[in-house]
Chain A
């Protein structure tokens, strides 16, 4: 938040002191154009989604579409099971992935001997570079059969498989950002805690992690965004059945998987229903981001 207000201030002060500096004005414009690329993209995407997806909302009705439980194009377009699958898989991935990631970050920043950190850190960074289709394939040939054996169920393509793959996928994001924010803490925090007689572990849990929580939360937010937006890996391991899952040991289809699977050949109202799936997803992400902004703001004050 602080950085945000700072850039605003400097922008205003530039406008208050007019300089006949042509190069300056030129670069000013360049900066504005660059800054607008993201905004314009978002506006275009939203406009596009709404213009294509409204037809389905109009035919099926918002309530039927969002809370309907049957997906049978071209008659019924209920995406509630997919909303549930997206939320459950993301929540599950955060609940299992974030503790592991935060503890790894603490280990890397505070506890690991240098030689071990030099192995763990590049491994984590490499994990971030692996394409999601590879995660999906790994899930399909390793995690899915493992679930079949462990839980003795006929098909391992389940919500649980999706949760595990997503949990692994969000690790690098959360680890890297958490570690950076723990390292960025002023050394006096830790020194003070140790000087007061706290043990190393006590100072980590009671001082360092609470002090770095804003950075850790940012990492979690990015992890959530990655989990809810992940498509390819999910399609490969979750079974994609458009029915409401009764437990995490049943197949399910997420919102993103629904769009990706059916977009290629869909026509007419069916295609429109897929765009409206995109609208729902967009609204979710907006809600999520506002929620996190709100939490962060509250913490800062």
Chain B
């Protein structure tokens, strides 16, 4: 008798997730988007009682998952390339994230051109005086090669080169490497000669974001497209995706969803 009850219980436990799966919305992709997506899904669950399962696997994996249908929604923190898309996949921009180029508070440099930043990161410009600053060496700080922020930064500033037919980073190998926004921030805040790049949402008074091509790194300049070191957060869905996923994306684009995006330090699109 005990065995029968145990077996029944086991079967019951095994099938519950299957029953629930109908109302679970699966989302996977960019780890940068995952942070804000988790907050959105929690709020969505509170208002509608629908479960959203979020997995951070990286932008490329997210795009692939949406295309194959392994996830209902794919997340990408960069522009989706044409050849990555199929005709029945649709991308929706839900937020924008700026990448701030930051220097120490004691550094007099206020403005850099994209060209200058590219040359600094390639290791061609080594002294602040060449870009309008003091006669001091430049300490270049970057993120690790697997970071999404670094990927977006390299794409936007054309910091890529080809080796053996594969695209690799062109950032100088002698640059200091921080593993996370926080560490890049600490290094730049403590070193008067340093330059680093971090998510705009992480900029605070401990360091100074420079203007790029004359435009300050502000939400309005990014929304207007004037500040160009910015990346979109894109959600990808197949056209025949189910109603629940569609409703969830509509919720993100609604006023309540966009407010959460602003609270998390990103820029709203609606």
Contacts and interface: CB of A to CB of B under 8 A. Distances in A.
A262 B144 CA distance: 6
A154 B177 contact: no
Contacts of B138: 154
Given A140-B190, A154-B136, A154-B139, A241 B146 contact: no
Interface stretch (B42-50, B167-175, B201-209, B214-222): B167-175
A106 to B, nearest CB: 38
Nearest to A158: B176
B163 A241 contact: no
Contacts of B98: none
Contact of B144 (A140, A156, A250, A261): A261
A262 B146 contact: yes
Contact of B176 (A71, A73, A240, A270): A240
A145 B177 contact: no
A74 B169 CA distance: 9
Interface residues of A, number: 35
Contact of B146 (A70, A75, A266): A266
Interface residues of B, number: 32
A235 B179 CA distance: 8
Interface in A190-242: 235-236, 239-242
A157 interface: yes
A270 to B, nearest CB: 7
Given A140-B186, A145-B190, A155 B176 contact: yes
A74 B166 contact: yes
Contacts of A73: 145-146, 168
Contacts of B186: 140
Given A145-B190, A242-B173, A265 B147 contact: yes
Given A74-B166, A242-B173, A260-B179, A267 B139 contact: no
Interface string B146-182: 1110000000000000011010110001111111000
Contacts of B137: 154
